């Protein structure tokens, strides 16, 4: 199984050689700011299975997080699309921004995290675990 994706302008293209290990929706304030939206949809993928087909990403090191842990946020320097985040404490996993996938039909969140900062108007589905933090 090969999964492909790209940024808005197409400068960054990538592929993943396996299915995501985990799918999440993050409601932390920093993900809201990065996405410019109410939350960020993420797929945890093995770093070893991810490869760029085209382009180079830029890095923003997010040090001001609620958890106190750094988050490395990689994005397209041309259009600004967030591509993935990396957490130094989980060096073998990339948290892909699922809106960049070419086919998003298979995305179903397994959990919602950082619900303590969820937008009040967002309603979460019953049966999906909801964590105040992560």
pLDDT, averaged across the chain:
93
pLDDT per position as a tens digit, 32-73: 999 999 999 999 999 999 999 999 999 999 877 767 778 899
Q: 97: which strand partners?
A: 42
pLDDT surpassing 80 at residue 110: yes
Mode of pairing for the β-strands spanning 50-54 and 3-6: unpaired
The topology under which CATH files domain 3-117 is 2.170.150
- Give the residue extent of every domain in the chain: 3-117
* 133 band by pLDDT with thresholds 50, 70 and 90: confident
Q: Average pLDDT of 11-32?
A: 94
pLDDT per position as a tens digit, 84-98: 999 988 899 999 999
At 67 the three-state DSSP class reads coil
* pTM of the predicted protein model: 0.89
First to last CA, the chain: 29
């Amino acid at each position: 199984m090969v999964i492909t994706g790209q940024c808005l302008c197409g400068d960054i293209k990538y592929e993943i050689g396996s299915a995501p290990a985990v799918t999440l929706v993050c409601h932390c304030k920093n993900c809201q700011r990065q996405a410019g939206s109410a939350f960020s949809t993420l797929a945890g993928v093995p770093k070893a299975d991810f490869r760029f087909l085209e382009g180079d990403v830029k890095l923003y090191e997010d040090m001001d997080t609620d958890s106190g842990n750094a988050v490395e946020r990689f994005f397209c320097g041309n259009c600004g699309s967030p591509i993935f985040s990396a957490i130094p404490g989980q060096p073998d996993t990339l948290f892909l921004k699922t809106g960049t996938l070419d086919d998003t039909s298979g995305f179903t969140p397994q959990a919602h995290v950082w619900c303590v900062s969820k937008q009040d108007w967002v309603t979460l589905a019953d049966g999906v675990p909801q964590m105040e933090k992560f």
